[in-house]
Structure 1
Amino acid sequence: MKMSGVLYRKELRTNFPLIFLFLMIITMYATIIISMYDPNMNSSLQVLAKSMPEIFAAFGMMNVSSSLIDFITNYLYGFLLIIFPFLLNVILCYRLMGKYIDHGSMAYLLSTPIGRRKIVMTQYLVLLTAMLIVVMYTFILIILLSFLMVSEESLDIIHFLYVNIGLLALQYFLGSLCYLSALIFNEARLSIGIGAGINILFIMIWMLSQVGDQLEILHYLTPLSLFDPQLLSTGDGQSWLYIFVLLLCSGIVIVLGQRIFQKRDLPL
């Protein structure tokens, strides 16, 4: 992969405070959720879920289970850990590409020996690195919190790792769509709005598909269906096919974006 090491380090350093902010938000929510874990409350949670089935289903929280890994995947990976990294993806796509094009400052980067292809791939690699940092941190954090706060049950680390690999693949795909939009449009309101809007539409379709059998067909209209935390936590082989599809689609999207960016006129 062609990239600029200087630009990569500069952008990663510049955006690390933002990444750190999201890590702290995830830390807060993960701590709260894991502190609520009590296998003896399983029946109470089932009653609560049955009293508000549409709400619990929309947020991917209907699979009430007494095991620790099911509890974590249900209440953290079912919605919260999809949304927070996605929001970081949107902001980073603006800061890494949309802002430069919108403000006309792309001319500064292009005046250096770095070509368009290197700029695209370097900024994209910063985006991928940020997602990798977030997912790796979350993986380690939850293992530590589980060890410290849930003494009566150990977390299945191998299967939990599978869940995080799936989450990373999903975020790579969502980020790639946002990045593609930033590469195509000049104005930030379009480059970010369209990319984020398409992904938000996918999320809303995914939420609706969980509400009832009548809307289950919507399940096939969103890439979020390829991320199934419960399936990943069992180590099912089909889940690896889903991960491969997400990564393959991410690669196709970024190659398309790179070719469009190389040929387009920029507001310099």
Structure 2
Amino acid sequence: MNRALFVSTYRRNLKLFVVFLAITIFYFLATMGMFTGGESDLFAAMPEAMRNAFGMQEGMESLTGFMATGFYGATFIMFLMIYCVVVANGLMSHLVDRGSMAYLLATPVSRRRIAVTQAGVLIVNLFLISLLTSVAGLALAPVLVNDAKLDTSAFLQINLLGFLLFFVISGYAFLFSCLLNDSKHTLAASGLLSVFFFIAQLVANMSGEMEWLRGLTVLSVFEPIQVATSSYDVLPAALGLGAAGLVLYGAAVWIFSKRDLPL
């Protein structure tokens, strides 16, 4: 990793990071503030099919279960999917597209180090979003919720799995960014794949006949409500997501170091 490049790229992406961090924590705290010791009127009024789509079948009477469904089940996923796709595109293919990558490659820094450094910016920011969301939840739950009983272990496990999930999603977004030259094609490829994963998960949850769709989406590994109710083995899921993310990022770095670029 090249320190000067990391600092430069991090500063260039800092504003977007702060915006997504602020939005994520705002919605997290807003959802937590809706907890009243049971299912909120808003969620209880939802049609059954919609409740099933977002995994709102059980466990919502606890604060941890309520957050697992009300925030981590959809909002968290949508926000960070968008963040991964946008930032990954800007780190590699956008630079190739507009010609800025030629200046980077003219420096003594190798292609591999450039790719590893750019990937590092995205990974660090995803980790910080997960970490700061965890800190906000642990620190502010007693303030926002009377007699808050947040299951610290389950809550931290949900955030760990969330980070690893987006380690994988950012991995394939970064892979497309290293593989394709046109930033519009990169956005389309990673964006459409992410939308497919999200819709496949919703449809699988809504209909038992479509349960097979869960095998086609990486989101099926992220089960926050089951973690909240202590009915999910986190370790195999965490190891699988971690390994998949490493493979995707490793492939992206290798492809970028070997391919011809239109510079």
What's the TM-score once normalised by structure 2's chain length?
Answer: 0.94
5+ residue gaps, structure 1: none
Once the two structures are superposed, residues 101-123 of structure 1 have per-residue CA deviations (whole angstroms, 9 ceiling, x without a partner) of 11121110001111100011000
Distance 2:43 2:192 in 1: 34
Which runs of structure 2 are paired with 1:223-234 in the superposition (5 Å)?
A: 223-234=218-229
Q: Shift in Å at residue 44 of structure 1?
A: 5.1
**One-letter identity of the residue aligned with 1:7:** L
Deviation track 1:77-105 (CA, whole Å, cap 9, x = no partner) reads 11111111111111111221121111121
2:29 is matched with which residue?
A: 31
C-alpha separation between the residues in 1 aligned to 2:108 and 2:34?
54
Aligned to 2:251: 256
Work out the CA distance in 1 between the residues paired with 2:158 and 2:256.
34
RMSD: 1.7
Residue of structure 2 equivalent to 1:7: 5
CA contact (8 A) 2:89 2:187 kept: yes
Q: 1: CA distance between counterparts of 2:53 and 2:91? A: 32
Bigger Cα displacement from structure 2, 137-146 vs 221-230: 137-146
Letter of the structure 1 residue corresponding to residue 30 of structure 2: I
Aligned to 2:126: 131
What is the aligned counterpart of 2:17 among 13, 19, 22? 19
In structure 2, what is the Cα distance between the partners aligned to 1:169 and 1:90?
16
Other-structure match for 1:221? 216
- Asked if 1:42 corresponds to 2:39, the answer is yes
Residue identity in the other structure for 2:197: F
Q: Give 1:1-268 correspondences, 5 Å limit.
A: 3-39=1-37, 41-42=38-39, 47-49=44-46, 52-63=47-58, 65-235=60-230, 238-268=233-263
Q: How far 1:233 sits from its partner (Å)?
A: 2.8
Whole-Å separation in 2 of the counterparts to 1:148 and 1:196: 37
Task: Among all aligned residue pairs of Structure 1 and Structure 2, give the percentage whose two residues are the same amino acid.
Answer: 28
Contact 2:20/2:83 (8 A) holds in 1: yes
Residue 165 of structure 2 aligns to a residue in which SS? Answer: helix
**Partner Cα distance (2:54, 2:192) in 1:** 19
Structure 2 CA distance for partners of 1:46 and 1:118, relative to 1, 3 Å: closer
Q: Is the 8 A contact 1:173 1:246 kept in 2?
A: yes
User: Which region of structure 1 is more displaced relative to structure 2, 118-127 or 258-267?
Assistant: 258-267
The number of aligned residues is: 263
Structure 2 residue ranges without an equivalent (≥5): none
Matching residue's letter, 1:159: A
SS of match in other structure, 2:56 = coil
- How many angstroms apart in 2 are the aligned matches of 1:176 and 1:46? 33
Residues 236 and 4 of structure 1, relative CA distance in 2, 3 Å threshold: farther
Tell me if structure 1 keeps the 8 A contact 2:59–2:228.
no
**Corresponding residue SS for 1:152:** coil
Q: CA deviation at 1:234?
A: 4.4
**SS of residue paired to 1:166:** helix
Preserved CA contact (<8 Å) 1:228 1:239: no
